[in-house]
Chain A
Amino acid sequence: MTATETAVAFTGAVKTFGAVRAVDGIDTEIAPGETVALLGRNGAGKSTTISLLLGLIEPDAGTVRLFGAPPRRSVTAGRVGAMLQEARAVPRVTVRELVTFVAGRYPAPLPVAEALELAGITELAGRRVDRLSGGQTQRVRFAVALAGNPALIVLDEPTAALDVEARHAFWASMRGYARRGHTVLFSTHHLEEADAFADRILVVDRGRIVADGTGEQLRRSAGGSLVALDLAGRTPEGLELLPGVRSVEVRGGRARLRTDDSDATVIALAGLGAIRGLEVAPASLDDAFLALTSGKSHRSDEPGRSGRSDEPSASRQTPSPLPEAV
C-alpha cells in the first residue's frame, strides 16, 4: 500500500434492479484526502453507487475497489465509516453507549470524547438516541460514522430533512473531519452544498457520471454567461448562430442566450441592432446542473448532445476539465 493509492475506484460498475439500470457504467477514482460530492436528483443512482462502494451490494458488471481491495475487505479492516440514508435512531441506547460501541469495532478509533466533540454532540452524551431532535440524531449518526477514525467516510444525503441551522452545524463538523486529511464522499441533491463543501463534484444522472470537476468548472461548462434581452417583436431565429451562443431559450418575450463568450455575443447583438433591455450575468450552478442532467433542459441545439451515448470514461482523471460529452 503506497501513499498514492486511490481511496475509491469504480471501473465500469453496473447495477441493475429488474429493468432499471440504477448504476449504468460508472468509472471514477477518488484520491485520498479529497472531499467529493455525488450530486444528482432523487433516483439518479447516488444511493446505489454508495451501496456498491460499501459492498452492501455487488455490481453486476465492472469492479469497485476501496484502497485497492474489495469493499467488504476494506470495511472489515476498519478503513470505512458510513452514514447511511434513511437510517433512524437506534432505540434505547444513549449517545455515549452507541458511539463507544461502534468505536470499539475499529482497530484504531478516535477517543469517544473526541468523536462526540467533532460531531458537536458532547452535551448530548448521556441522552437516549431515540429522544433527540432530527438534527441531533443526524449528528449522532455522523459521530457513529467517524467514531472508528476511518480513512474514508461516506455520507449518503447527510443533510436531508435538516433545517438551515442544523445544516450549517453539520457541515461545520464535516469540514472539521475532512481537515484531518480524511477522504470524504457525500451525496446530495443540493447544489449549494456540493459547491460549498466539496473539492470536486461528480454529477450523477441516470446511473452515470455526466460531469466531474469543481463547482467553478461545472459553471463554466454549462456556458460561462447568460445574455438576456427583450425580443421586442423579433423572432428568436438565428440567435443561436451568433458567436459564442450555445443555447437559446425564450420566455415571456425575453430571449436568454447561454454563451461561452458574452462579449462576442453582445457585440454581435449590437450589430443586429437587437439590444433591448440587455442583461449579462454569469451562469448559476443551477443552470449548470440543469444543463448537465437531462430531463429539465430546454435546449435543442446543444453541441455534443449526441455524445450522451458515449462512454463517460473521459471523466476518469481527477483534476481534468469536464468531459467532452457534456
Chain B
Amino acid sequence: MLDYLRLEIRRTLRDTGFVIGGIAMPVMMYLLFTNLGGDESGWKTGAMVGMAAYGAVGSALNTGGGVAEDRAIGWLRQLRVTPMPPRQVVLGRALTGSVTVLPAIVAVLAAGGLVNGVRLAVWQWAAIAVLLWLGSVPFTLLGLGNGHRLTGQTTGVANMVCNLGLAVLGGLWFPVALFPDWLRTLSAYTPTNRFAQLGGSVAAGHAPTAGAVLVLGVWLLLFGSYAVLSYRRHAGNV
C-alpha cells in the first residue's frame, strides 16, 4: 500500500503538466494578481488563501486525470492481476491525491510569506495549511469520480471545467465582494468558496464558520457518492 502510494506520488511529481499547472501556475497568478492591483495587504492575504485553494483544487482534480490515464493504458487492469486488492488501489489513489495537493498549498503560502510579506502568527500558517489540505478531500473525490467514469481526454476537459468554473464562482481568483448580489449568493453555496473561507477565517484570526463546514460537508457527501457510483459502474472494465 505504501509502495503504491510512493509509486503514484513519484509518477505525479514527474508529470511536468502537473508541476506547471498545479504548482507553478497558482504561484505565478498569485504574484501577478497581487502586484498588479492595489497594494493593500488584506488582498495579498486573501488572494494568497484563494490561490492556495485554487492550486489545491487543481491538484486534487488532477488525481482523477491520473486514474483516467491509468484506465486507458491498462495499468489498473494490470494491477487487478497482481495480488493487490482492488480497494487498496482505490484508497491508494485517493491518498495520493491528498498528498499531491500539498506542494501547491505550501508553494503559494511560501510566496505570500516570502515574496509578498504576508505576516501571520505561526499557528495561523499551520492552521491554514492543514485546513486547506483537509478541505481538498471533496475535490479529490470529484476528480476520482470523473476519472473512473470518463475517458482520459474527457476527464481532462471535465476537470478543467470544474476547476476554472468552481474557482471563479467561488471567488478564488477575484474577491466575492466584486460580484453582483445574486452571484455572491450563489457563490456562498459553492464548495470552492467555502473551502477558501476555511483558510480566510483563520487568516482573519478566528475559527472557520459552521456554515462553511456544513456546506463543504454536503459537497463531500455529494462528491463522495459520485466517486463511489462512478467506480462501481466501471469497476468491471477497468
Q: Are A and B subunits of one complex?
A: yes
Indicate if the CB atoms of B11 and A76 lie closer than 8 Å: no
Contact string, A59-98, partner B, CB cutoff 8 A, digits 1/0? 0000000000000000111101110101111111100011
B14 touches A87 (CB 8 A): no
Report the Cα distance A90→B69, complex, angstroms: 9
Chain B, interface size category, equals: 20 to 34
Tier of interface size on chain A:
20 to 34
- CB atoms of A92 and B10 under 8 A apart: yes
Shortest CB-to-CB span from B8 to chain A, Å, is 9
B81 within 8 A of partner (CB): yes
**B179 close to A (CB within 8 Å):** no
Chain A residues closer than 8 Å to B10, beta-carbon distance: 92-93, 97
Query: Cα distance A186–B93 when bound, in Å?
Result: 31
Cross-interface CB contact of A80 among B4, B7, B81, cutoff 8 Å: B81
Residues on the A chain within 8 Å of B11, using CB: 90-93
Chain B residues closer than 8 Å to A154, beta-carbon distance:
81
Contact A75 B7, CB 8 Å, known A88-B73, A92-B15: no
Q: Are B83 and A148 in contact (CB under 8 A)?
A: yes
Does A144 touch B at the CB level, under 8 Å?
yes
Inter-subunit contact A144/B78 (CB<8 Å): yes
Which B residues, 56 to 71, have Cβ-Cβ distances below 8 Å to chain A? 69-70
Q: In the bound complex, do residue B73 and residue A91 qualify as a contact, i.e. CB atoms below 8 Å apart?
A: yes
Task: Identify B80's interface contact among A56, A78, A104, A106, CB under 8 A.
Answer: A56
B85 and A87 contacting across the interface, CB-CB below 8 Å: no
Would B3 and A87 count as touching, CB distance under 8 A? Answer: no
What 0/1 pattern do residues 181 to 206 of B give for CB contact below 8 A with A? Answer: 00000000000000000000000000
Beta-carbon nearest neighbor of B6 in chain A: A101
Contacts of B72 in A (CB 8 A): 88
Do B4 and A89 touch across chains, with their CB atoms under 8 A apart?
no
Q: How far is the CB of B122 from chain A (nearest CB, A)?
A: 36
Q: List the A side residues contacting B75 at CB < 8 Å.
A: 87, 90
Which of these, A81, A86, A90, A92, contacts B81 with CB under 8 Å?
A81
Within 8 A of A (CB), among B71-117: 72-75, 77-78, 80-85
B236 is an interface residue with CB less than 8 A from chain A: yes
Known: A78-B83, A93-B11, A148-B82. A56 touches B77 (CB 8 A): yes
Interface: A57 (CB within 8 A): yes
Nearest CB of chain B from residue A59's CB, rounded to whole Å: 14
Cβ of B73 and Cβ of A87 under 8 Å apart? yes
Min CB distance B236 to A, Å, is 7
A126 CB-CB contact with B under 8 Å: no
* A105 at interface, CB cutoff 8 A: yes
When C-beta atoms are compared, the residue in chain B nearest to A71 turns out to be B81
Contact yes or no, A76 B85, CB < 8 A: yes
Residue of B4, B72, B80 contacting most chain A CB atoms (<10 Å):
B80
Find A89's partner among B3, B73, B77, B83 (CB 8 Å cutoff). Answer: B73
A57 to B81, CA, bound (A): 12
Q: If the complex has contacts A84-B78, A87-B78, A92-B15, are A107 and B83 also in contact, measured as CB distance less than 8 A? A: yes
A102 located at the interface, meaning its Cβ lies under 8 Å from any Cβ of chain B in the complex:
yes
A209 at the interface (CB under 8 A from B): no
In the complex, which residue of chain B has the Cβ closest to the Cβ of A130? Answer: B73
- Indicate the member of B69, B78, B82 with the most A CB atoms within 10 Å: B82
Q: Known interface pairs A87-B73, A91-B73. Does A54 touch B81 (Cβ–Cβ under 8 Å)?
A: yes
B-binding residues in A (CB < 8 A): 54, 56-57, 75-78, 80-82, 84, 86-93, 97-98, 101-102, 104-107, 144, 148, 154
CB within 8 Å of A: which residues of B? 3-4, 7, 10-11, 14-15, 69-70, 72-75, 77-78, 80-85, 236
Q: Given contacts A56-B80, A78-B83, A101-B7, list 7 more A-B pairs with CB under 8 A.
A: A54-B80, A81-B81, A81-B82, A84-B74, A84-B77, A90-B11, A93-B7
